[in-house]
Amino acid sequence: MEIFDILIIGAGPIGLNCGLEANKNNLSYLIIEKGTIVNSLYNYPLYMRFFSTAEKLEIDDIPFISAAPKPGRQESLEYYQGIARHKNLNINLYEKVLHVSKKEGVFEIETSKSKYLAKNVIISTGFYDIPNVMNIPGENLEKVKHYYTEPYPYAKQKIVVVGSSNSSVDAALETYRKGAEVTMIIRHSEISENVKYWVKPDIENRISEGSIKAYFNSELVEIKENSVIFKDKDGEIHEIENDFVLAMTGYLPDFDFLKHAGIDLQEECLKPSYNSETMETNVPNLYLAGVVCGGKDTHVWFIENSRIHAEMIVNHILLKNA
């Protein structure tokens, strides 16, 4: 069986960047992806707009030509999938990596379809596959969505949007503008500081004029077939009619997968252990790249600041081989 120099898990923007870097340096590599190329981006809301400008989303200095300064989902799919196609990156799609283990200095990678061997492994699995659940009764009902795609299904419906991040605010504004009756239930005392600067005044004005109802310092306690129950800032319990809940409560990396690969998770935020100069984890030759690095803190790493990981990792591997 071929022993790859590098096996890369996940074909997100950062996994692709790692593949490009390995390719440039004549290292044999394989990227294994459980969905399509840039699967997280494929599953983003249809009309989302990045907060980053196009050039900050570029990988390997390949120009990202976008009509607007900040590209949307479709343009980013064109860009990243176009690179994978044009550079003929070695990627296996619709194949999930189940386990990574190490025997006698070589990694064995078991997937849903096969087994592979590699001298080095890069985990670039992101954080978009596991929703951060609220653990409240009724959360498993069909009407509760942890992924928001587009506003049209929610016309004339009573919607509860949970959270005050970019995803929550985009969902609240879009559904309100397509005729939904929107109530936001927000744990914090205000709309998140991280909300895109050109969107924040829009949501704040809609809330202050009463077009969108918002309960701050409040939390959902139960979801029923036709209503939701929440606790407000004074601890008072309310029950309101409801058709759909858009629980935009964020997402988490696959901590079990990281743990099984032998990576230590620090107590605070379950941040995986790695050397910030090389991206190597506590398991020698096992690296992390991209937004998976932040643990529960998913507001630290973005494409913008993690696209440098590919070069750091490949340089370290080359140095060890020298």
Ligand X SMILES: Cc1cc2nc3c(=O)[nH]c(=O)nc-3n(C[C@H](O)[C@H](O)[C@H](O)COP(=O)(O)OP(=O)(O)OC[C@H]3O[C@@H](n4cnc5c(N)ncnc54)[C@H](O)[C@@H]3O)c2cc1C
Residues within the interface to ligand X (CB under 6 A): 9-15, 32-35, 39-41, 44, 48, 50-52, 96-97, 124-126, 128-129, 167, 257, 290-291, 302-304, 306
In angstroms, what is the minimal distance from the CB of 232 to ligand X? 28
| Residue number, 126 or 138, with CB nearest to ligand X | 126
In angstroms, what is the minimal distance from the CB of 33 to ligand X? 5
Q: Which residue has the tokens 């990988």?
A: 59
In angstroms, what is the minimal distance from the CB of 271 to ligand X? 15
CA dihedral sign of residues 233, 238, 243, 245:
positive
Pairing of strands 181-185, 213-215: parallel
Distance of alpha carbon 133 from alpha carbon 120, whole angstroms: 33
| Phi, psi of 252, rounded to the nearest 5 degrees | -135, 150
In angstroms, what is the minimal distance from the CB of 40 to ligand X? 3
- What residues have CB less than 8 Å from 264, skipping those under 6 apart? 272, 273, 281, 282
Per DSSP, the residues of 185-206 read E-SSSSS-TTS-TTTHHHHHHH
| Residue number, 51 or 216, with CB nearest to ligand X | 51
Distance of alpha carbon 293 from alpha carbon 31, whole angstroms: 18
Distance of alpha carbon 140 from alpha carbon 255, whole angstroms: 22
In angstroms, what is the minimal distance from the CB of 124 to ligand X? 5
User: Can you say how many angstroms the Cα of residue 191 is from the centroid of all Cα atoms in its chain?
Assistant: 21
SS3 category, 111: strand
In angstroms, what is the minimal distance from the CB of 150 to ligand X? 13
In angstroms, what is the minimal distance from the CB of 26 to ligand X? 23
| Residue number, 117 or 240, with CB nearest to ligand X | 117
| Residue number, 18 or 223, with CB nearest to ligand X | 18
For residue 72, list its beta bridge partners. 49
| Residue number, 218 or 306, with CB nearest to ligand X | 306
